[in-house]
Amino acid sequence: MFLKSIDLFGFKSFAEKSHIQFTDGISALIGPNGCGKSNVVDAVKWVLGEQATKSLRAERMEDIIFNGTDTRKPLNVAEVTLTLENDGVLPLDFPEITIRRRLFRSGESEYFVNGAPVKLRDVRELFYDTGIGKTAYSIMEQGKIDQILSTRPEDRRALFEEAAGITRYKMRGREADRK
């Protein structure tokens, strides 16, 4: 499985519709300070369901919507789409999977998988045990290793469970307990 492309519109500095295409292998985003490199990483975390504004370097969730420049009006919606090639790692019978999140300034938020409306929970479930997801280890930011080492043993254990592929079953068990 790999990330084939990211489409952004209205997310942070991406006022124009933007398409970033990746190929299998290593890609690097390069550019001057402030050009939007980290915003691309924020966009990926956001689509995967990040709810913590701090982790997105924003004060309020609304701050991730393009808020205008001297020459451009602010936008009222942010939308990011990830297109993933699926070789069976994701539990959906499609060779290509798109995940989209949309947020309106009114606060209304939507998620879509392959164009169909879903809930945040469905997006989370899709990525259990893949190492991808907001609390998994596919995004290693500055300071993340230190954070992992200094975190509570219970939280550290969650990373090993994700790598071992048992998160899905654990979550299901928890749901069953609640019912």
Stated as kind and residue range, the H or E segment containing 159 is helix 153-164
| Residue 32 annotated as binding site | yes
- Residue 36 site contact among ligand ATP, Mg ion, none (CB < 5 to 8 Å, cut-off depends on kind): ligand ATP
Of positions 16, 19, 27, 35, contacts ligand ATP by CB under 6 A: 35
Residue among 70, 66, 74, 67 nearest 9 (CA): 66
39's contact among Mg ion, ligand ATP, none, with CB below 5 to 8 A by partner kind, is ligand ATP
Secondary structure of residue 122 in the 3-state scheme: helix
Query: How many C-alpha atoms does 90 have within 13 Å on its Cβ side?
Result: 25
Asked whether residue 115 is marked as a ligand-binding residue, the answer is no
| Residue 75 or 158 with smaller CB distance to ligand ATP | 75
Please give the Cα distance from 152 to 75 (Å, whole number).
40
Binding flag, residue 34, ligand ATP (CB under 6 A): yes
33 is in an annotated binding site: yes
The footprint of ligand ATP (CB under 6 A) covers 12-13, 31, 33-39, 63, 65-67
